[in-house]
Structure 1
């Protein structure tokens, strides 16, 4: 049962008054900046030119006040130390402050992208009832939320143009809360909310890229814009950013250790790390109830040369003092994020750690992985490698947490290179597909002697009855010799839009997708030929004590990416009845849930959103026999909250009653995380066993 605990400083971690560290004293010393510069000069550090308006800090000793807050869904939160009444929420927020010129430029670019996004898709969005296009004298267009209960007032300007006041978006709350004792049901609920929010973010980002692609087709000088900034702007305007009303300390419900992110703005949207560029996320003193900044999360990405990272222990270099090339050129100061980290250490407040790692498949060349909660145990001012003084913080990972996601990423990378070196025991086969797939499929079993996946014929794609293909010589296809273009024959069959982007990411789920086939003149590299080329990620079938058998990837699978086909031998309903009488287990495609409708779903943003219904597909009245011939997908486990979904695809024939069952990622799937799909509920004519492995 959920309990409520007050949020109190960890008294065991507060500094001993008789042995107060130099940094704690510095935080309360009005001559901190001068003393730091003097000390640097005495030991031979480089002394940069003093910055203008360099004011010393003047902080008062805090008076902790414990307050309990109860949320509607009945889980525990507790406030941080505070000595000021929480009445600042009703006051107008102060103007945003930036810790560096680079961060200010990033925010300026963010605002510019927001304006471009609204202007570029304003007309298209008018079909949704909660949006309206406003035109002014300069013929500029903006897209704004429309709500008849909005407090904004309508006004009639010159030339009879109607305008409304834009909704004001305030800064994040400065109230710190900690969530504890979250039960399984609550955790599932928050996980679902987080998943849907991230899917909405991806849907908007892909939509922005699609619109930008169309604009570039008609404008030679069009500048490519960033879909991640566009998506975050739309979600901000739709009030879909999470964890804004309260600032959560520690673990955030719905976010699991090991979750991977390709965009920093996505972490801002869900509240994991709220800084667009800065590595330290904190409540500034202007928002804090006790007038002191408090840090809540940090990103460790190797941006500072003095960082030391050994996993469970991190020597984290503070922020500031760098030039545009990332070189230290000035002494750091105990202010902004640095002071926030010191104050978090003083109060015993833990921080979330996100690590940035290089990744070739990312647009930025980097991915971010959440690694859990750390405690700040020490802080000191030291000489850096470049000769300037830097603040260093020792972060120690709190015990009894799941394995770090960055560790699993690194292990998977080494596993792909040298599997026997990383796992001397347990491998039964290094390719159960026998080179039928583009990449090998491993078989790993360190549980027992079971070798079932070896005793079958591996097939790359499903086999359908001969009559399904009809007269293949009289088919029709596109005439795009150099590659498909907008409004070609195959694009028209898909509703006038490409189903995939240039990287093979599915824009949105549909009842059925038509890929270019054997009668098309486009090359094999055509962007409308994704699933027919087979798997691109390295998979491992493994023995599981929970699900008997399971499948995991050795690669990071981005959300919306093709995974593999669910392959077997297609049987008609009459054949399926005979097989069922003999006791064989069959998989019925009609039972798979409609998870495809969730990918690209914008119902959170648009109340009248209608999921795609074209083209309509009749009920799939066939079964897949996977008892003798199958592929890697048949060992994927069932889950009611899966991370993959089934998308129907046609490419080698035109019989919509026998489509291919293609699996796509519903979220970013980190390496070595088990893949799951929703097999649905068994009906009276199908076997109770959902799959041969479960």
Structure 2
């Protein structure tokens, strides 16, 4: 691509190029989807969920078993997420129609699986290293991108975190889903070496994105990021690394259990000065 648009970091793997105008491209292997890593017993690319038998271009709640079982997560135009809580994002599980469903590719219940549809740019921030900004306006509830990478097991996540140098970034995201009183599903995603544009998103104590586990073909969820509010063009995209959204953080000491907490440079009014640190991986 020419200098006016930048280099496509996805090398054509995304429908929309992931632009980067920097002369030094970051070193990693781009993957638009999750891949199976050490300790993960299920291939994220394997279809493990049942499908519907709808033969219309788009599914309807009165006849689609997917929508009847899991609910209708998206608006009928297939673009915006139904936000059932004004301040805290979305709390219900999301299941999209999958490869076994007989509905069309344009079905309104197929959103995250369509991949990146927005023009995003990876750029150098003033104090936070790499970051991502949008080159177009994004309405509230829009799917922006995934946080994709290696899906690894707990033991591997612990090993990688313990072996990390102080000057290295921690990319591992741990998502815990509570399905009843005693059932907890854990997913660990590490895009450090293999990942997508989501790996460049910075933390903010007042983010404009929130993360939501979305299941498409596999029981392993995709960590989808949606717009928490209307976002202007050229605005940096951020999410809360702790997984919380719309809640206050507690500011703790600079060191926790021997691990150095890193300073937060989000610059928001409610900044807690420290990046979130998930010690549960190490327990």
> 2:35: which partner in 1?
463
Q: Which has the higher contact order (CA 8 A, sep 6+)?
A: 2
Alpha-carbon deviation of 1:463?
Answer: 1.7
SS in 2 for 1:621: strand
**Equivalent residues in 2 for 1:136-147, closer than 5 Å:** none
Contact 1:438 1:534 in 2 (8 A): yes
Judging changes above 3 Å, is the alpha-carbon distance between structure 1 residues 569 and 578 closer, same or farther for their aligned structure 2 residues?
same
Matched, 1:645 2:221: no
CA distance in 1, matches of 2:112, 2:44: 18
Checking the alignment, whether the CA contact within 8 Å between 2:122 and 2:132 is kept in structure 1 is yes
Instruction: Name the counterpart of 2:121.
Output: 540
Q: How much does 1:452 deviate?
A: 4.7
- Paired position in structure 1 for 2:77: 502
> Displacement, 1:586?
4.0
2:230 and 2:161 map into 1 onto residues whose CA distance is: 37
Q: How do 1:494-573 and structure 2 match up within 5 A?
A: 494-495=70-71, 497-508=72-83, 509-573=90-154
1-structure distance, mates of 2:181, 2:226 = 20
Give the structure 2 partner of residue 671 of structure 1.
Answer: 233
Equivalent position to 1:485, from 54, 60, 77: 60
Go from structure 1 to structure 2 and tell me whether the alpha carbon gap of 1:469 and 1:458 turns closer, same or farther (over 3 Å shift): closer
Deviation track 1:615-642 (CA, whole Å, cap 9, x = no partner) reads 9995443422222101111111111110
CA contact (8 A) 2:46 2:217 kept: no
**Deviations for 1:536-561, whole angstroms, at most 9, x for unmatched residues?**
11100000112211101111111100
Residue in 2 aligned with 1:439?
16
Contact 2:10/2:30, CA 8 A, preserved across alignment: yes
Alpha carbons 2:35, 2:43 under 8 Å: kept: no
CA distance in 2, matches of 1:531, 1:471: 16
1: CA distance, partners of 2:61 / 2:182: 24
Cα distance in structure 2, aligned partners of 1:442 and 1:525: 26
Counterpart CA distance in 2 for 1:494 and 1:671 is 34
Please give the alpha-carbon distance, in whole angstroms, between the structure 1 residues aligned to 2:70 and 2:180. Answer: 8
1:257-283 deviation line (CA, Å, top 9, x unaligned):
xxxxxxxxxxxxxxxxxxxxxxxxxxx
What TM-score do the two structures reach when normalised by structure 1? 0.31
How many Å apart are 1:531 and its aligned residue? 0.6
Query: Which structure has greater helix proportion?
Result: 1
Which 5+ residue runs of structure 2 have no aligned equivalent?
Answer: 84-89, 243-275
Deviation at 1:670, TM superposition (A): 0.9
> What's the counterpart of residue 121 of structure 1?
none
Q: Distance in 2 between matches of 1:493 and 1:534?
A: 24
Summarize deviations over 1:370-406 as a string: whole Å, max 9, x none.
xxxxxxxxxxxxxxxxxxxxxxxxxxxxxxxxxxxxx
Q: Rate the CA distance shift 1:528–1:631 in 2: closer, same or farther, 3 A.
A: same
- How far apart in 2 are the matches of 1:471 and 1:460? 15
Contact 1:486/1:498 (8 A) holds in 2: no
C-alpha distance in 2 between matches for 1:574 and 1:489: 37
Per the alignment, do residues 582 and 678 of structure 1 end up closer, same or farther by CA in structure 2, a change over 3 Å counting? same
Matched residue pairs, number?
A: 233
Look up the match of 2:246: none
Task: Name which of 259, 267, 278 aligns with 1:683.
Answer: 278
Is the alpha carbon distance of 1:641 and 1:505 closer, same or farther for their aligned partners in structure 2, counting shifts above 3 Å?
same
Shift of residue 467 of structure 1?
Answer: 2.6
Matching residue of 1:580: 161
- Assess if the C-alpha contact under 8 Å between 1:510 and 1:614 holds in 2: no
Compared with structure 1, are the counterparts of its residues 519 and 441 closer, same or farther at alpha carbon in structure 2 (3 Å cutoff)?
Answer: same
Is there any run of 5+ residues in structure 1 with no aligned partner, and where?
1-417, 421-426, 595-612, 688-694
1:546 & 1:581 partners in 2: Cα distance? 25
Residues 126-525 of structure 1: matches in 2 within 5 Å?
420=4, 429-445=6-22, 451-453=24-26, 455-464=27-36, 465-467=40-42, 472=47, 475-482=49-56, 483-487=58-62, 488-495=64-71, 497-508=72-83, 509-525=90-106
CA displacement at 1:566 relative to structure 2: 0.4
